[in-house]
Amino acid sequence: MKTTRGRLNPKLLAVSVSTIACGALHAPACAQADGTAVQEVIVTAQRTAAPESKTPVALSVLTAADLDAIGADTPGALAARLPNTYLENSYDGLRITIRGVSNADVTEKGDPSAAFMVDGVYVARPQSQNTALYDVDRVEVLRGPQGTLYGRNTTAGVVNVITKAPVNRFEGDVNATFGNWGERKVGAMVNVPVNAVLALRAAATWNKHDPYLSNGSNTPRTLGLDRDDRAARLSAKLALGDNASLLVRYEASRDNSNNDSTVPDSNFYSGIATGNPVWNGDSTDKRLTYRFNPPNTRFEQGYSHKKTSALTAELNWDLGPATLSWLGAHRSFDHDYDYNFYYRVAPAVALGVRQPFNGSYNQDSHELRLATNGTGPLSAQGGVYWFRERARDVYYFRDLQLVGLPPYYVFANDPVRSQSKAVFGQATYRLVDGLRATAGARYTEDDKSRTGYIGYQRAATFNAATDLRDLNAGRIATNRTTWRLGLDYDLSPATLVYGAVATGYKAGGFNDGCVAGDSRNGVGCLPTSALPAASLTYRPETVRAYEAGVKTRFWDGRASLNVAAFHYDYRDLQLSNEVVVNGRPRYETTNAAEAAVRGLEADGQVRATRADTATYALTLLDAHYVGYVPDGVHSWSGVKLDRTPARTLALGWEHRFHLAGGQLAAGVGTHASASYLLGVPQAGLKFRVPGHTESDLHAGWTPDGARWSVLARVRNLENEVRPMTISSSGLTVPTEPRTADVRFDYRF
């Protein structure tokens, strides 16, 4: 295909696709009434409802049917169906990586690079993002910075889980699932139209499976990578006259999974002590077996108890020329756990560390937005946003006496505050028929602070006669204006071409420590641990992104193709890991000077017949550091960012046919990835994950005229596991092995 100076020419691509695509110019009109057309999905990616094929941003949508087919009932199960996207349920929370951009600081002071949302509400804590997906309408994943409409901490993109709202008809469903690894699940939903103005919907789920990890260390404790959670949601939709409606949702969940879900990195690699890790080729069983016996302590039984509640209200009022919307939410999250660390303190020496933790987090958010109605040449929206989070936690590390620390190395923080305020607006104007220009901007102010201490104690309870406390406090205020400029053009009724330049912003923050002379609540900054003010804080992360794309339907609407080409210039990319400061372990975030990301994505569907549907996705990606010297000596310029394979290919096929008095739908999908890196820059380690495939199968049968159905699924047919995350201390979270289950549904 012709390019200009090595860059993709989106208009030439669109012309080529349209030329070879039979019937492209008339696809909407001739979409087959017999069900052969690719189904259109309505999305709210730009905060107003629009068809996915007419939304000029790179996004993927997974519907409820898609989630059921692949058995995706947690965010971490979605990634194989999403181009250039990784969602990983790590031991310390959900890690989201989009087009190579991620973040590892999941502490109370950290922020993600990709926003995770539920029904449009930002969920701040990664530990509470590892949530059950149930009674979900769709999941929208936007790739690229979304700073104008979604705000801060969206330099990588947005994941928005949209649950089903009450409808004006009676319906219900109960389901049960059983599988290997002791999997058992139960779910239920009922929707009741109380009267002409009120509808109620209730849904609940309970999920459990045994640990994937086995204990080979001759100790009695049970390990993690298990599941034990339950959740329920009650929704009410009230019509307020003819022009307004109020939707209220309340959700509560409990999660009692085991937090000990890691193995040493030596389960996957040899040669770590030499600084050159090499994939060891061990079997899946060996990689999922924990064999480390610490020389300095005896591990305890780990556990994790999470409690979450959320109240959300959404008001929409049609004023005629415009619609006024308010979205308000309160979320609370409590977490109590005991974790056993594998902690490498030297290339060939590792210790065991026990960590009890108790934390509480509360967040409130409000957004007021006004969006124009009608079909005139101008459409616009604008509003104000306010967010506040207050957290407190206390945790301590035991068993580090061999590195010169006391028996209890304590971190206590209360309060930790984060507040964000923003004003935003975006407008699209039709220049001529089919050609539209978009401009938007958002101004954001962020204020983050923490007051706490680091304790050096002989016991869990502080003793002023024998113990010391060191101030652990910081504050930073940052602000940015992010903006977006774009053009989109209807090359034909079935082909949209678009291009945009957009910026993103992630708030700055502070590290563990204190500044000499500072004192809070009677705790001062010890001279031996004081840090320069410049190293206590880190700068905001910013990005400027250039993107062009094509979305087209062809073959009489029976096939679709979405193509996006992009280039990012990152500044002050935030990278986090454990480090030793003044002889004491801390969690530190630093800024990589520059990073560059560029790539190409293509995905779509083909409805070959009424009974056959194929899906495909191809990505090409080059994401690397442009300027980064993590230890002040060794340059990582040119080194790839984490989780950035040069190529990936996903293929899927489903066939439906009549069998034994019912409808059978059987499908297969596979995801092939080139190798990629997981880096620990502070230690100079580069862990290469080899190229691999991961495949799944599903088959569902529904008897004619019946209310019940059965669905069988197998995931990871290859039964291969890989490291999801690797920390500088060697903690490694494996992916899931082969799983299989059968689900029964009864609808009424």
For residue 96, the model assigns a pLDDT of 92
Q: What is the CATH number of the domain that holds 692?
A: 2.40.170.20
**Placement of tokens 């303190």 in the chain:** 345
For the CA atoms of 553, 554, 557, 562, the dihedral, rounded to the nearest 10 degrees, stands at -30
- What is the chain's mean pLDDT, rounded? 91
Residue 14: band (very low, low, confident or very high) from pLDDT cuts 50, 70, 90: very low
The amino acid that residue 649 corresponds to is: L
pLDDT digits (tens, 9 = 90+) for 228-248: 999 999 999 999 999 999 999
How far, in Å, CA of 630 to CA of 682, rounded? 6
Q: Per-residue pLDDT for 13 more than 70?
A: no
pLDDT per position as a tens digit, 383-415: 999 999 999 999 999 999 999 999 999 999 999
Please determine, for residue 79, whether its predicted confidence score (pLDDT) is greater than 90.
no
* pLDDT for the residue numbered 107: 80
pLDDT tens digits for 707-716?
999 999 999 9
Tally the domains of the chain: 1
* Cα 621 to Cα 98: distance, rounded to the nearest angstrom: 11
* Location of structure tokens 């936690």: 393
CA-CA-CA-CA dihedral for 49, 52, 54, 58, to nearest 10: 110
The arithmetic mean of pLDDT across residues 504-520, rounded, is: 90
Res 5 pLDDT > 50: no
The pTM of the full predicted model, rounded to 2 decimals, is 0.91
CA angle 105, 508, 485 (to 5 degrees): 110
Query: How much of the chain, in percent, has pLDDT values that exceed 70?
Result: 95
Whether 12 shows a pLDDT value over 60: the answer reads no
Q: By residue range, what is the domain housing residue 359? A: 3-747
- Span 293-313, average pLDDT: 95
Residue 1 has pLDDT above 80, yes or no: no
Q: How confident is the model at residue 723 (pLDDT cuts 50, 70, 90)?
A: very high
In this predicted structure, what is the pLDDT of residue 165? 97
From the list 196, 322, 316, 302, the residue with the least C-alpha distance to 258 is: 302
pLDDT the model gives residue 34: 59
Give the pLDDT confidence score for residue 108 in this predicted structure: 82
Residues 520 and 473: their CA atoms lie apart, in Å, by: 8
Residue-wise pLDDT tens digits, 422-436: 999 999 999 999 999
Give the Cα separation of 150 and 484 in Å (integer): 12
**Amino acid 681: pLDDT:** 86
Structure-token match 């550091």, residue found: 625
Q: Examine the pLDDT at 26 and tell me if it is beyond 70.
A: no
690-697: average pLDDT = 96
Q: Given this model, what pLDDT does residue 55 score?
A: 95
Give residue 10's pLDDT: 39
